[in-house]
Each structure stands twice: as structure tokens, then as C-alpha cells.
Chain A
Amino acid sequence: MQLASEEVIITLVAGTVLLLFLVAVVVAAAARYQHRKRIHLMDLERAKHETLREILKARLEAQDETLDHVGRELHDNIGQMLSSAKMLVAVVQRTVPAPNETLDVIEETLARAIADLRALSKSLNREWLQKFSLIENLTAEANRVNATNSLTMTLNHADEIDLPAEHQLVLFRIVQESFQNALKHAEPTRIDIDVRQQDGMLEVQIKDDGKGFDTSDLSTQGVGMLNIKNRSQLLGGRAQWTSFATGTSVVIQIPTQQ
């Protein structure tokens, strides 16, 4: 009987210990599962962002390729045709005994068109742009736009830009897209570009004095604005629009430390 009682006590103690151990293991398993689930979700999120980023990068590269192609076609085909026309005008001027003043005007117009076309072609050509910094490219672009006498473009900039060359090129495309947008939709007479660097952030503001738009209306947000947002996101930054009846300002903020 005593033996049986001892056996019961041992069984009860062992059973309780075993039960507590199992409860502890089940709780540990649940906690460990939660932890793994969190890591799994973070990995999924990271993979999703990476995939979206790659898709975006591929799309933007395709756009750059198209711009490159257009730039080359402008230079090789249309540029050549304009140069040929200018040469023919020069031949006529030499051969005709009393050349008309109109021929001089034609020659000047053609020369300007060729120069403008070259400048435009260069602004679309990636290989050409990569030789220069953001500020140099923006300066060239401002000079090109000002030469058309259709509006005034000013550029204020910081002395140095701490951004890798590849990112400076992407930023240049963003600014190019921004004022192309302004030219297309806002009908401005003036565009001011301001480039500042402070506290690890590079800020580019493009302000125009055009007619403005409703920033809350999604239907006004076309492909141009989407491209600007996408390219800004690719650089780890963002783009923000403010618009009134008297003009629109777009501010692009990019971190300089990637």
C-alpha cells in the first residue's frame, strides 16, 4: 500500500513537471512562431519593394532609351536635313548675282534652328549628359530655353552637390520633366530653378508663374507627374506640388547619403 502511495506521489510529481514542461514548450513554440512570422512578413515586404523598384527602374531606363533614340534621330536626320538646307541657301547666295535679303533671314533662321536642335539633342542624350554635373546640365538647359526667347529661366544653385553622378543624371531628368510639364500645361513666362543642399538633403524647387492646377484632383495628374514621383522615389526622395492661380511650385527632396 505504501509502495502504491509512493508510486502515486512520484507519478503525480512527474506528471505535473511534465505538464509544466509541455506548457512551457507550447508557449515557447507560439512565441517563436510569432517571431518567425514577423521576420517572414518583413522579408515579403522587402521583396515586394525591391520588385517594384526593379520594375520602376526598368521602366525609367526604357524611357531614357527612348529619349536617347529621339535625341539621336533629331541630330542624325532632322539636323542633317537642316544643315543641308543651310548649305543650299549658301550656294544660292553665292551663285545668284543679287541675292535677296530674305535669303539672309532664311540662313540665320536655319542656323538658329540647327543650334537649337543640337542643344535639344544633347539634352536628351545620356552619354553627353553624363560628362557634366547636374548644375552644368541645368545651366546648359536654362541657356537653351532662354535662347528660344519664349520665356525666362533662372537658376540659383549651391556650390557643390554631394550626389553620385548616376543620381545627378536622374535628378536632371526629373527637373527636365518638371519644366517640360510647366511649358506644356501652365503657359508660364518665367521658370525659376533653385538648388539647395542642407542637412543631408538636396532640395530642388522649380517654380513657374503659369496658371496653376488643382493638386487634389487626381485626373490632372498625368504621366509627367507620375514620372517625377517615380524617379524621386527611385532616389529615395519625394516630390511635392503646391499650386495657386498665379503659379505652381514643385519641390524635389533627395537624401544625399544613400
Chain B
Amino acid sequence: MIAFYLVYCSIVLLSFVTSIWVFKFNPGLRAFPWLLGLTLAVEITAGMLGYRYVVNPYWLYHFFLPLSSLFLAYFFYHILTGVTTRRTVMVVTGVYVLISLSMTFFFYKLTDFPGLPLNLLGFLLISVSLYALLTLEPIYNISIYAHPVAWICLGFIVFYTGTFFLNGVYNYLVATGSGSRQLIHSVINNGLNCFMYLCIVAGLVASHRLKKFYATEN
């Protein structure tokens, strides 16, 4: 399991480094160095606490989720067009942050995993990513496979859908007393995480490849 964790952290590190040097065709991508840097810091800290010091690291995620939602909102605000849509993103994000923090302080203990806020964030991200995919504006003559936003949204959709599905399967594994439930959960969860961050890397690289169009424009 540590091996999966290390592979996962390496991919997050790769995505963080990529996010710093790539050309950002849209101002929304400026959120990713901050988001991925925060993710890396949280995951390394959680890993150290969990594996090395055997301390419950879940309290980190209670604050990570609302913070990351702000960066994601910044991204989608710049990606999506339309005053109403952008306003909706801002309002929903604000409401989510309030709900998440309220649950942290009034519903959960800091040692509990914030399952509901995570699922709620997942639901919101799937919705906004689907909307972004369906309203994707063409950039010059590039295909959808070269569109940065397509890759990033695909990553979010696959990860959070998979997470919903995985949580359901996990309950079965717990009920059957499956000894390998932790391993299965870890493999699938880390696999989905890796897929999402690789999609983000693909999206960032695709953004960098658009530099030639914007260079000639300037």
C-alpha cells in the first residue's frame, strides 16, 4: 500500500511541477499550481502522519476540501462563459464551503473522514465538468483530444464517479469481512486518483501546446 501511495504522490508532484512551467492559455489555469501544491502538501503530510507516526490524518481533509473547492471555482469561473453561469459557480462554491465547514464543526469529529463533503464536492464537480464539456468552445482548429479543458474535466468526472461507485462496493467488502478490502479500496482509489492527476497533466501539456497560437497573436 505504501508503494501505491508513493506512486500516487509522484504523479501529484509531476502535475504540480507541470502546472508551474506550462503556458496557461486561460487565466483559470493559474489556480492549478496552488491547488496541486496544496494537494501535494496535504498528501505528504497525511502520509507521514498515517504511515510514519500512525496518527489519524483525516482532520487535514476537513480543511483541504473547502480550500480546494475555492481553487476549482476559480478555474471553472474563467473556463465557463456567461454571466449567469459564472455567478452560479461563485454562489454554489460559497454555499459548499459553508456547508463543509459546518459539517466539520457541528456534525463530524476531526478524526472522522469527511465523506459527505467529499461526495458533495464530487457531485458538484461532476455537474460542472459535464456542463463545461458540453459547452466547450473550439480553440483555433484543435481537436477535442488536444483541448486542455476536455482532459481536466474528464479526469474529474472519472475520478468522482469512480469514487461514488467504490464507496458502495467498499460497504459490501466490510459486510463480508473481506480481509483484502483495504487493499482493493487502496488500489482502486489510488488508481482513480492517479488517472485524475494524469488527466490534469495531459490538460496542462495541451495548454502549453497552444502557446504557438497565442505567440503569433501577440
Contact = CB atoms under 8 A, between A and B. Distances in A.
Contact of B133 (A7, A15, A25): A25
Given A4-B176, A8-B169, A22-B157, A33 B141 contact: no
Interface SS of chain A: helix, strand, loop or mixed?
helix
A8 B172 contact: yes
B164 A18 contact: yes
B95 interface: no
Interface SS of chain B: helix, strand, loop or mixed?
helix
Contacts of A11: 165, 168-169, 172
Contacts, number: 64
B42 to A, nearest CB: 27
Contacts of A25: 130, 133-134
Nearest to A41: B141
6 contacts: A11-B172, A25-B133, A25-B134, A29-B144, A37-B138, A37-B141
Given A1-B175, A7-B171, A11-B172, A36 B136 contact: yes
B157 to A, nearest CB: 6
A14 B130 CA distance: 18
B138 A36 contact: yes
A47 to B, nearest CB: 14
Interface string A200-240: 00000000000000000000000000000000000000000
B25 to A, nearest CB: 16
Contacts of A22: 157-158, 161
A36 B130 CA distance: 17
Contacts of B130: 25, 29
A40 interface: yes
Contacts of A32: 134, 136
Contacts of B161: 18-19, 22
A207 to B, nearest CB: 45
Interface in A14-58: 14-15, 18-19, 22, 25-26, 28-30, 32-34, 36-37, 40-41
B206 to A, nearest CB: 14
Nearest to B172: A8
Contacts of B154: 26
Interface of A: 1, 3-4, 7-8, 10-11, 14-15, 18-19, 22, 25-26, 28-30, 32-34, 36-37, 40-41
B218 to A, nearest CB: 19
B137 interface: yes
Contacts of B144: 29-30, 33-34
B76 to A, nearest CB: 16
A4 B136 contact: no
Contacts of B171: 4, 7
Contact of A28 (B134, B143, B175, B176): B134
Contacts of B62: none
Contacts of A1: 175-176
B115 to A, nearest CB: 16
Contacts of B24: none
Nearest to B168: A11
Interface in B147-169: 147, 150, 154, 157-158, 161, 164-165, 168-169
Nearest to B144: A33
Interface in B20-65: none
Nearest to A38: B138
Contacts of B134: 25, 28-29, 32
